[in-house]
Amino acid sequence: MPSLPDSPDLLVIGAGAAGIAAARTAMEAGRSVLVLEARDRIGGRAVTDTARLGLPYDLGATWLHQAATNPLVPLAAGIGVTLHDSDALRRERSQIGARPVTPVEDAAYSAAWAAAEARIAAAATDGGPDRSLAAGMAAEGPWAATIEGWQGDIISAAPAGRVSLQDFHSNALDGGNRLPEGGFGALVARLAEGLPIRLGAPVTRLAWGGREAVAEGPFGTIRARAVVVTIPTSLLEAAAIRFDPPLPAATLQAAHDLPLGQVVKLGFRVEGEERFGLPPFSSVDRQVAPGEPLVAMSLFPFGRPVISCHVGGDAAQALEAGGDSAVEAFMRAEIATRFGAEALRVLRAGPIVSEWGRDRWSRGVYSYARTGCAGARAILAEPLAGGRLCLAGEATDVGMAGTVGGAWRSGAGAMRSAMAALAG
């Protein structure tokens, strides 16, 4: 356990991916740094549970997206964590009701995807005003609601009709996906080993603007010369930390323009050897009708007896509000629709269910930009007080917003700005 400085040069608020990257950057530069984390664990929205299912299950971040440029890919290799090529391993199947699509239907689905993506790219770069993702993709035909569900509720965690098309396009992820065998949360936790992190230390007030920043909370008072704040936009907007002086109006507006979407995720453990005829790393989707929630379903990763289901957007919010039993009932009904009622017999009681919307330290999953607010991330990321207060976190990254890789990049960048302010 590293010793925790009382008066560090640099203070970091939050020990998620952005805070961990910020602290590592300071340590690598030989600066004294302290991280204050509200929860009793590190990792924030990247957390792997191994107890509930008896196997690693990521309640939050799961895949390293955009592997070609993701800063965590080389870091994982450096500590001997194996990353699997998810795209090469994934076996996709689409269904209409309980039956797999025919080759003709599958081709129509692929063509509808390609057309929607082409329209998104064209509409986002046509020089016109921002519009909603739904308007930009203008999906049509029998697969329209399914594609809208993927791009909106599942990927953006919000209905496509509320999401900024230009921001969506700026943060569209390509360059491959990687899956860490022991879980993404476990990888992030490994990368925090040895850092001076104080857990159970929620900051309630932050005085800034002068040559000193002062953080207060139940832990007492910590003074530093510059501070990197990595809390989610949901908490900035809710004034969970009282900034003194208040944050500039433009910063607060940007936090408002980048709300956190909602996703609810559930993992079932399967008893016995039943695999519904599916290979490991299966991903099964189902054509939905307009207004019907889409469930993303990953089955048997690494051959493990696990089915992971998730729903996003307004349906996720409503389900989470109904409690774990409502989420479980909904997912069981979806499994029965796809694989028959007899499939339910192999699901072990007591699935694991995420609660990101209810979690007071996140209040949602990851940020999307409201329609018309494509410039908000750059505003939120602007250093304040000459760099002595820098906001970081997934919402401040442009290119990989909403991801651990984006959060990491932003945390490292914010810390470089803060250190430059001290040098100046």
Ligand X SMILES: Cc1cc2nc3c(=O)[nH]c(=O)nc-3n(C[C@H](O)[C@H](O)[C@H](O)COP(=O)(O)OP(=O)(O)OC[C@H]3O[C@@H](n4cnc5c(N)ncnc54)[C@H](O)[C@@H]3O)c2cc1C
Q: Which is nearer to ligand X, 140 or 358 (CB)?
A: 358
> What is the C-alpha to C-alpha distance for residues 375 and 354, in angstroms, rounded to an integer?
31
Q: Is 65 in the site for ligand X (CB under 6 A)?
A: yes
Quick one: which of 259, 313, 393, 413 contacts ligand X (CB under 6 A)?
393
Q: Is 171 in the site for ligand X (CB under 6 A)?
A: no
Q: Is 361 in the site for ligand X (CB under 6 A)?
A: yes
Q: Is 265 in the site for ligand X (CB under 6 A)?
A: yes
Quick one: which of 196, 305, 351, 402 contacts ligand X (CB under 6 A)?
402
Q: Is 293 in the site for ligand X (CB under 6 A)?
A: no
Q: Which is nearer to ligand X, 93 or 363 (CB)?
A: 363
Query: Do 254 and 380 touch, CB atoms closer than 8 A?
Result: yes
Query: Do 334 and 310 touch, CB atoms closer than 8 A?
Result: no
> What is the C-alpha to C-alpha distance for residues 392 and 409, in angstroms, rounded to an integer?
9
Q: Is 187 in the site for ligand X (CB under 6 A)?
A: no
Q: Is 331 in the site for ligand X (CB under 6 A)?
A: no
Helices 17-28 and 404-423: crossing angle, nearest 10°? Answer: 40
Q: Is 202 in the site for ligand X (CB under 6 A)?
A: yes
Residues binding ligand X: number (CB under 6 A): 42
Q: Is 398 in the site for ligand X (CB under 6 A)?
A: no
Q: Is 203 in the site for ligand X (CB under 6 A)?
A: yes
Q: Are strands 83-85 and 178-180 parallel, antiparallel or unpaired?
A: antiparallel
Residues between 2 and 61 that touch ligand X (CB under 6 A): 13-19, 36-39, 44-46, 60-61
The CB-of-319 to ligand X minimum distance in angstroms stands at: 13
Quick one: which of 4, 27, 115, 240 contacts ligand X (CB under 6 A)?
240
The CB-of-13 to ligand X minimum distance in angstroms stands at: 5
Q: How far is CA 203 from CA 7, 52, 116, 317, 322, in A?
A: 15, 30, 44, 27, 30
Quick one: which of 165, 191, 365, 390 contacts ligand X (CB under 6 A)?
365
Stretch that binds ligand X, among 122-130, 297-305, 375-383, 398-406 (CB under 6 A): 398-406
The CB-of-209 to ligand X minimum distance in angstroms stands at: 19
Q: Is 148 in the site for ligand X (CB under 6 A)?
A: no
Q: Which is nearer to ligand X, 145 or 414 (CB)?
A: 414
Q: Is 391 in the site for ligand X (CB under 6 A)?
A: no
Quick one: which of 356, 363, 388, 412 contacts ligand X (CB under 6 A)?
356
Name the residues that contact ligand X, by CB under 6 A: 13-19, 36-39, 44-46, 60-63, 65, 202-203, 230-232, 235, 240-241, 263, 265, 354, 356, 361-362, 365-366, 393-394, 402-405, 407
